[in-house]
Amino acid sequence: MVNVNEPIAGRRAESFVSVPISDDVAAMNTEHATDQQSPHDAVFAVEDLEVYYGEFRALKDVSLDINMHEVTAFIGPSGCGKSTFLRCFNRMNDLIEGARVEGRIDYHGVDLYDERVDPVEVRRRVGMVFQKPNPFPKSIYDNIAYGPKLAGAKKGDLDDIVERSLQRAALWDEVKDRLKSSAYGLSGGQQQRLCIARAIAVQPDVVLMDEPCSALDPIATGRIEELIGELTSDYTIVIVTHNMQQAARVSDRTAFFSVQLNDEGMRTGELIEVGETRAIFTNPADSRTEAYITGKVG
Amino acid sequence: MAVVTTPGQVARTTAADLEKRAGADVAGAVFKWTLIGATTFATAFLGVLLLVMVVDGWSVLSGSLGHFLTHGFSQSADNTGVWQGILGSLQIALVTLVLAVPIGVATAIYLVEYSGGSRFARLVELNVRNLAGVPSIVYGLLGLAVFVQTLENFTQGRTVVAGGMTLAAMVLPIVVITSVEALKAVPQELREAAYGVGATKWEVVSKQVVPAGASTILTGTVLALARALGEAAPLILVGAATGFISFGDANWLETFTGPFTALPVLIFNFARQPGEEWAANAAAASVVILVVVLMVNGFAIYLRNRFEKKW
Amino acid sequence: MTTTLSIDELQTARGRRARASAARWVFLSAAAVTVLVSLLIIWTIASEAWSFASEVARDQLFAIGWYPRRGLFDLSTLLVNSAQISAVAMIVAIPSGLGAAIYLAEYAQPRVRRVMKPTLELLASVPSVVLGVFAISFITPSLLSNFFDDINFFNKLAAGIAVGLLVIPLIASISEDALRAVPNSLREASSGLGARKVTTTIRVVLPAALSGLMAAAIVGFSRAIGETMVVTIASGGGDTSLFNTSLFESGGTITSAMASLGLGTDQVAGNDLAFQSLYFLGALLFLITLGLNLIGNAIVNRLREKY
């Protein structure tokens, strides 16, 4: 059993070599940070966010920052709204009937839910990896190429984009000889890395991950955690996980959510505490956080 | 059942019950065999039907099948053929599919992907379900009044075009219902993945959802086709010729806008004529249409099995 | 923050956006077309049916029979014939269709099911004209004539049997769906209490599937009433029909009367009301089948609540 009071060590794989991204591909993302940017600037600033499904308040009063080039983890018991919250960052909740958001999420200075903002472009810039790997019923190549093609990548660039994305997702060597074969022929862990490659192929600056390892075996999980460490040099990662040890291993900051039963017996999620992962796990400020982390509460 | 209190009593009671039951399941056996009888009746009937038709039509099928299939209607029973009916049926099927499939699939896409539970969508759905239960001859009335008369300038009156439009209206509900099923069967994860990389709703639908559901949609289309091929009542009202028609010098395209007939209508006509020879023609033509319809349906079933799991 | 974006940068290319908006309208229009079909049907039959209803005299509707070209439009003739034929059809179709459905859903091995189900689907696609031919070339001459000496060549009984055969696959498939929808836990609970299969089926599964089975019967009946070609060929009497209640006699139904009127539209000589009566019958048929379908849905909904 992992002692969560141990300091987090060795998250970033020193041996990983970053693959340089060519100018015209990078041009698709105007504010891609290749120069000296302070890594602690906020990508997202959330203020008093509330999420409703119809009349039901699923999440209340959330305020926090997501910082650039960091891994932020959302932890908490099931039903506490962490996935709901995650989906606010790429406006995936828009797809659900009756879902609405109050409060503000600021994305690089823009109100994400401003009615002039096109959610389609938001989703290109804020990518997502889902709990169960969900590759398209197409070839490996077409899985990766789908997004860039829509975003306007030229035919000639696609081969490069596919290769770079697969390299970045640490999958290239395993599939380079069978790019045209079906994505369903890959193992679970490979499929999830494919999904990661697919997400980064459109040059996002944020990648959201909704319990990406919960359907995978420990070895595949380990590879993905390693990958997350490697990806932070270029992307900002937000990960929802029900596995505390995972949060302790991979993240820089952690936000702990819990569920509150209100007068009518409805469960509303709320943010209890957010801070540097090390601090949260060794010296949490709130007793509820401590109770969850030490296993007193589920 | 006796109330049991000791293990020994349980064992004795259970054994006694089992012995009693072993002998007494006559009711069960009778029931089961009745069911088998019903099932056999329902399914073997197809074979009986084919057999009777082949026997009755033997004189035509064995002797002059080639002539029968390639010649037009003739007043004399042993000279008549169903060629014009076959041609008409194919032309009508073409018009029907060209109209019903795009409109039907598009409606299904609207209902599944775009509707958002609106009142209009619920109206559309209810309406389609009701239309599916409307008798085919009522569609014939629609065809007569609207496609033959009101739209005469476009359809040229009693033509294959009017007939095809009529049958398109009739099979439209079938296409919508099967396409809706096909689209609903596409897992939500696929849509989420596509939206997740920044695709518009149109792109998600056209490049992911519809291709994923295409095989089932195709099967539904083929079933609609089979249904259209077998209908006579609406075509009769729309003016399908039940007897002699002449195409004159019309080329293939022009026959779309001239008098027409269809295979089931010819069968109807043969059946109405008195005498053994016409009865044989009716039976032979029935065999022809049965073979066609069974092949088309068989193809649909084959398609469905083949595409159980793609990729 | 050192990187800021403007709202203009969070936009999709105009071409993609235009295509997406256009697509929405295209799909909406297609859905509107289906509503248009309904409206056209209603408009078509309503206006002509109304003309007929307002011009026809009451004693024309209660005459000795259906003789449209002589101005006699006795509705009861047609209604009774339609009802009789459909009733015979139900007597043929329900036992067989339901029996097959129970067998396939409860008893049959997967191997058997895999063959039987497609066979039933093939049966469902048999064109109705063929069944009409079957009626006059086999059912009446080779079957019924052996039992009943007085039977007319064109008779309602043969038509009813043929329509029943036509409807069997429909009843079988809807019933089977209803039976398979019954959760297995009910069957297991029953067997667990020591009931034999026949008991479980009859006393647990069938009642649980009742709403679906009734829907099957109603849909089947509706289909039977709307059937045209079989009755036109086998029962005769489409042109003219004297009121009679004997199954051994010929008799025109609502649908065969419509078919005859439709065949004669080239020569609408005699009574002009005759042509309009075609639409009146159409309206009647439409209302009857619509009513049956709505009742069927209502029963399904009400019974479903109980469970």
Interface of chain A toward chain C, CB-CB under 8 angstroms: 30-31, 33, 37-38, 41-42, 68, 107-110, 114, 116-118, 120-122, 125, 150, 152
Tally of domains in chain A: 1
Contact C10 A125 (CB under 8 A): yes
**Based on the domain organization, do B106 and B137 belong to the same domain?**
yes
Q: Of the given ranges (A159-173, A179-193, B24-38), which has the lowest mean pLDDT?
A: B24-38
pLDDT at A288 (0 to 100): 87
What does the mean pLDDT of chain B come to? 85
**Based on the domain organization, do B41 and B134 belong to the same domain?**
no
Tell me if B301 is assigned to some domain: yes
Chains near B (3 or more Cβ pairs under 8 Å): A, C
Chains near C (3 or more Cβ pairs under 8 Å): A, B
* A198 contact B CB<8A: yes
Cα B183 from Cα B173, distance rounded (Å): 15
> In chain B, what residues touch C137 (CB-CB under 8 Å)?
52, 56, 279, 282-283
pLDDT digits (tens, 9 = 90+) for C171-188: 998 898 889 888 888 888
Tell me if B200 is assigned to some domain: yes
Closest CB from A127, A137, A150 relative to B212: A137
Tell me if B2 is assigned to some domain: no
pLDDT reading at C85 higher than 90: yes
- Give C115's pLDDT tier (boundaries 50, 70, 90): confident
Closest CB from A123, A137, A195 relative to B198: A123
pLDDT at B7 (0 to 100): 63
The stretches in chain B having pLDDT less than 50 are 4, 311
* B141 contact C CB<8A: yes
What does the mean pLDDT of chain A come to? 84
- Domain ranges, residue B29: 7-56
ipTM of predicted assembly, 2 dp: 0.89
pLDDT at B6 (0 to 100): 60
Q: How many CB atoms lie within 10 A of CB C168?
A: 29
**Based on the domain organization, do B71 and B94 belong to the same domain?**
yes
Contact C125 B279 (CB under 8 A): no
Residue B292: which CATH number?
Answer: 1.10.3720.10
Tell me if A135 is assigned to some domain: yes
pLDDT reading at C109 higher than 50: yes
**Based on the domain organization, do B79 and B49 belong to the same domain?**
no
Higher pLDDT pick, B302 / C91: C91
Tell me if A34 is assigned to some domain: no
> In chain A, what residues touch C10 (CB-CB under 8 Å)?
107, 110, 117-118, 121-122, 125
**Based on the domain organization, do B29 and B86 belong to the same domain?**
no
Higher pLDDT pick, B252 / C256: C256
pLDDT at B46 (0 to 100): 86
Q: How many CB atoms lie within 10 A of CB C302?
A: 10
Mean per-residue pLDDT, A291-297: 79
How many angstroms separate the Cα of C64 from the Cα of each of B255, C61, C83, C241? 45, 9, 18, 9
Tell me if B263 is assigned to some domain: yes
How many angstroms separate the Cα of A248 from the Cα of each of A232, A252, C72, C189? 16, 8, 91, 48
pLDDT reading at C306 higher than 60: no
pLDDT reading at C292 higher than 90: yes
DSSP string, B136-169: HHHHHHHIIIIIIIITHHHH-SSSHHHHHHHHHH
Contact B198 A136 (CB under 8 A): no
pLDDT digits (tens, 9 = 90+) for A42-83: 899 999 999 999 888 899 889 999 999 999 999 998 888 899
Which run of H or of E encompasses A233?
A: none
Contact A108 C4 (CB under 8 A): yes
Matching residue, tokens 């991950």: A209
Mean per-residue pLDDT, C280-289: 94
pLDDT at B13 (0 to 100): 56
* C16 contact A CB<8A: yes
pLDDT reading at A88 higher than 90: yes
**Based on the domain organization, do B84 and B45 belong to the same domain?**
no
> In chain A, what residues touch C11 (CB-CB under 8 Å)?
117-118, 121
pLDDT at A266 (0 to 100): 80
Q: Tokens for A65?
A: 């920052």
pLDDT at A112 (0 to 100): 92
Closest CB from B25, B289, B301 relative to C127: B289
* A136 contact B CB<8A: yes
Tell me if A101 is assigned to some domain: yes
Tell me if B209 is assigned to some domain: yes
pLDDT digits (tens, 9 = 90+) for C36-67: 999 999 998 998 888 888 888 888 888 888 88
> In chain B, what residues touch A182 (CB-CB under 8 Å)?
311
- The two beta strands, C72-73 and A267-276, are unpaired
Tell me if B279 is assigned to some domain: yes
What homologous superfamily is domain C60-306 in, according to CATH?
MetI-like (1.10.3720.10)
Tell me if A23 is assigned to some domain: no
Q: Of the given ranges (B16-25, C200-209, C252-261), which has the lowest mean pLDDT?
A: B16-25
pLDDT at B153 (0 to 100): 79
Tell me if B246 is assigned to some domain: yes
Cα C159 from Cα B88, distance rounded (Å): 28
pLDDT at C189 (0 to 100): 87
Tell me if B311 is assigned to some domain: no
* B210 contact C CB<8A: no
Closest CB from C2, C7, C13 relative to A114: C7
Cα C105 from Cα A60, distance rounded (Å): 50
pLDDT reading at C228 higher than 90: yes
Tally of domains in chain B: 2
pLDDT at A16 (0 to 100): 24
Residue A285: which CATH number?
Answer: 3.40.50.300
**Based on the domain organization, do B133 and B231 belong to the same domain?**
yes
* B133 contact C CB<8A: yes
Contact A109 C4 (CB under 8 A): yes
Tell me if A16 is assigned to some domain: no
Query: What number of CA atoms fall less than 13 Å from residue B297's CA on the CB side?
Result: 22
In one-letter notation, the amino acid at residue A230 is E
Mean per-residue pLDDT, C160-168: 94
Q: Integer distance in angstroms from the first to the last C-alpha of chain A?
A: 16
Mean per-residue pLDDT, C189-206: 85
Cα C183 from Cα B69, distance rounded (Å): 51
pLDDT at A12 (0 to 100): 32
pLDDT at B273 (0 to 100): 87
- Domain ranges, residue A109: 41-293
Contact A130 B189 (CB under 8 A): yes
> In chain B, what residues touch A138 (CB-CB under 8 Å)?
311
- Give A14's pLDDT tier (boundaries 50, 70, 90): very low
Length of chain A: 298
pLDDT at B309 (0 to 100): 53
